[in-house]
Amino acid sequence: GAKHITVCDRFGIIVEGDEQLNFAQKEISLKTNRKHLKGLLKDALLGADVFIGVSAGNIVSEDMIQHMNPNAIVFPLANPTPEISRDKALNAGARVVGTGVSNLPNQINNALVFPGLFKGALDSRVRQITKEMEIAACKALAKIVKKEELTETYIIPNIFNKKVAKNISRAVMKAAIK
């Protein structure tokens, strides 16, 4: 699993003890940035293995990607414009790129999980979706792409893969009855 997670907001790296943080950021700061890094997004990406963006378009440069560790994994998920385009991230040295863009490889979209998650919850007649059900959904999604099928452009199944909703629904139902 991840050993060091650094979270940024629009002002830069979230650091424990910063008086400007809101309640949620204060909670996040207690569980992340154990190295107490300070600075901007570009500083957070220095030597990083993975970038997961869920904020604003065009805020990551090719230079930032070049300063990540070799074979970096980059998930610029902002919509409609990602933090960096897939092509720019790859040209800058990223090995794996997944975006929220539907016509590109490795589309990372909540639409992959929601149909199966809700079907499993509805079929189980539960009133609440639990963390265990969410984790079961994630594990079911992860199992769909077999190890021998994994490539840089195929780390997550396509949204139209018929196994996705079916496998997630079954996993959620099992978790719901535990």
Instruction: Grade residue 164 by pLDDT with cuts at 50, 70 and 90.
Output: very high
Do 35 and 14 lie in a common domain? yes
- Pairing status of strand 96-97 against strand 73-76: parallel
Do 75 and 99 lie in a common domain? yes
Show which of 85, 108, 131 is a domain's final residue.
108
pLDDT tens digit string along 110-162? 899 999 999 999 999 999 999 999 999 999 999 999 999 999 999 999 988 99
Q: Is the pLDDT higher at 103 or at 173? A: 173
Do 13 and 56 lie in a common domain? no
Give backbone dihedrals phi and psi of 158, rounded to 5 degrees, phi first: -65, 150
- CA atoms of 96 and 161, how far apart (whole Å): 21
Show which of 108, 126, 161 is a domain's final residue.
108
Quick check: pTM over 0.85?
Answer: yes
Do 80 and 126 lie in a common domain? no
Instruction: Grade residue 1 by pLDDT with cuts at 50, 70 and 90.
Output: confident
The alpha-helical segments, DSSP class H, found in 32-91 are 41-45, 62-66, 86-91
Do 13 and 53 lie in a common domain? no
pLDDT score, position 162: 93
- CA atoms of 158 and 107, how far apart (whole Å): 7
pLDDT score, position 3: 86
pLDDT score, position 69: 97
**Structural domain of 147:** 110-177
Do 23 and 69 lie in a common domain? no
Do 104 and 139 lie in a common domain? no
Do 155 and 101 lie in a common domain? no
Do 86 and 137 lie in a common domain? no
pLDDT tens digit string along 12-42? 999 999 999 999 999 999 999 999 999 999 9
Domain count across the chain:
3
